[in-house]
Amino acid sequence: MARSYDSEAPMPAGDSMHEECGVTGVFAPGADVGRLAYFGLYALQHRGQESAGIAVSDGERLSSHRDMGLIGGIFNEDILGTMKGHISVGHTRYSTSGSSIMCNAQPFIEDTNIGQFAYAHNGNLTNSEALLAMLPADINLEATSDSEILSKTIALADGETMVERIKAAMRVAEGAYSVVMATKDTIYAFRDPWGVRPLCIGTYGDDGYMVASESCALATVGAQYLREIEAGEIVVIDKHGLRTEHTEVVKPPALCMFEYIYFARPDSVLSGRSIYMARYQMGKALAREYPVDADVVMAVPDSAIPGGIGFAAESGLPYVEGLIKNRYIGRTFISPNQQMRSQGVQLKFNPIVENLRGQRVVVVDDSIVRGTTTPRIVSLLRDAGAREVHLRITSPPIVHPCYLGVDMATYEELIAHNLSVEQICEKVGADSLGYLSVDGLVSATGRENRDFCLGCLTGRYPAEPALAGAAPGRRSA
């Protein structure tokens, strides 16, 4: 009997935060739905690089293929050639709950007394232990993640229909979940009542639909973006078309603000707002809040680039490329030892010396989490000849952990929880440091404060104390 799950996520390499998954769902009679899932997942690869999988239905039966690694390494022509049908569900995973092992790769396939379903989940539950306790004592859990606990909760819920079972599970599940499920003839796509993680829907061809974590996946396969799936909404797609239902559980909206700051691809649209333009406006707002006498503006690649361009536009300073990022350093990357570092081995970033030498440089970045990478970037720029380094950050200081599935840091680790802005500036070796305000950040998105989870920035989470029970790390103050 497997009755435990591993809530200890492995720590990410470097000083960044990590999203946990990307999901897709396709209902398109006559289309190559396995390949549509494949290309959709390719567009969502930034949301998870540990494992991936696709399940398809031909109307009679579900089949799936999943494995560890990147999409391009898992699927080939032979495998995709067998994935025929009119429905597909895709998943790419970054583990925040459960280890990076094969049994946690999704989609899961669940057997129920009303038929099989394939299940793909983005998010993190905050009451997994309570849900686990509601499941039969002899249940056989194959995975070690909280995603499987929700899929089992749905599979074993009361209800004559899948929608009734989903609603029953939504009554008891707490936390973040954007889910795509498929039975042999129907797609179900639903978001938790807070709407923490994104999920959007578009049309494909004349009578098809596609759902995905981000609109960039729709654009990649030629699907037309329709709208976000609402918080608490259950979209059902079958041969009769699309219909929606809602859970009766109502919560305040709480989209993760870091989708706008960092996670989502800049070419995605979230609630009608371009991620690129939101980041550009963050840079402009930062230039108004923290102007500086300097020569050039640069950004730390990749997610801070629109903010850097916005800062340059608002300040009138030229935008230059100061760092080139190696995009092929993954989680299994072998770090150089201290001696190699001191001899100048720099694998992640390399400077463009010609753009930096003798310059007073404004460096725009999207966040400082633990503060371990930032001093290396500052000294890299100084070594390349920068005369002054002024850091400007497009998020406010991260002073609290995330309880909703973002692999970030504990109170002990968060540099802004433990040091003042002046102390951080000194510690990272910058000449000045400015963080965007919460008001500046929210107004850059074109939305309202009340639309977001800002928990790690303000300490006000969408729900307490239930969510706080899942706090990573001890509260040190």
Residues that bind ligand SF4 (CB under 6 A): 196, 256-258, 402, 404, 406, 453-456
Contacts by residues 345-350 (CB-CB < 8 Å, ≥ 24 positions apart): 346/380, 348/14, 349/300, 349/301, 349/323, 349/324, 349/325, 349/377, 349/380, 350/323, 350/324, 350/326
CB of 262 to ligand SF4, least distance (A): 9
Residue with Cβ nearer ligand SF4 (70 or 453): 453
CB of 173 to ligand SF4, least distance (A): 16
Residue with Cβ nearer ligand SF4 (268 or 315): 268
Catalytic pick among 21, 200, 256, 425: 21
CA distance 439 to 232: 27
Residue with Cβ nearer ligand SF4 (319 or 452): 452
* Catalytic residue status for 21: yes
CB of 18 to ligand SF4, least distance (A): 10
Helix boundaries (H) for 223-368: 258, 275-289, 305-315, 338-342, 353-356
Tell me how crowded residue 158 is: count the other CB atoms within 10 A of its CB. 7
Output the CA angle 220-226-230, nearest 5 degrees: 115
Residue with Cβ nearer ligand SF4 (85 or 455): 455
CA distance 307 to 282: 6
Strand partners, 90: 24, 54
CA distance 264 to 253: 18
CB of 11 to ligand SF4, least distance (A): 16
Strand-pair category, 241-246 with 432-435: unpaired
Residue with Cβ nearer ligand SF4 (12 or 455): 455
CA distance 278 to 268: 11
Q: What distances in angstroms separate CA 356 from CA 48, 300, 353, 426, one per listed residue? A: 33, 13, 5, 21
Strand-pair category, 323-325 with 255-256: unpaired
**Residue 284 backbone dihedrals phi, psi, to 5 degrees:** -65, -45
By three-state DSSP, how is residue 82 classified? Answer: helix
CA distance 201 to 224: 8
CA distance 317 to 287: 10
CB of 456 to ligand SF4, least distance (A): 3
Strand-pair category, 255-256 with 360-365: unpaired
CB of 452 to ligand SF4, least distance (A): 7
Using an 8 Å Cβ cutoff, are 270 and 451 in contact?
no
Residue with Cβ nearer ligand SF4 (389 or 404): 404
Burial class (CB within 10 angstroms; exposed 0-12, middle 13-18, buried 19+) of 281: buried
Residue with Cβ nearer ligand SF4 (36 or 456): 456
CA distance 197 to 382: 38
CB of 383 to ligand SF4, least distance (A): 32
Residue with Cβ nearer ligand SF4 (258 or 290): 258
CB of 455 to ligand SF4, least distance (A): 3
Catalogue the active-site residues. Answer: 21
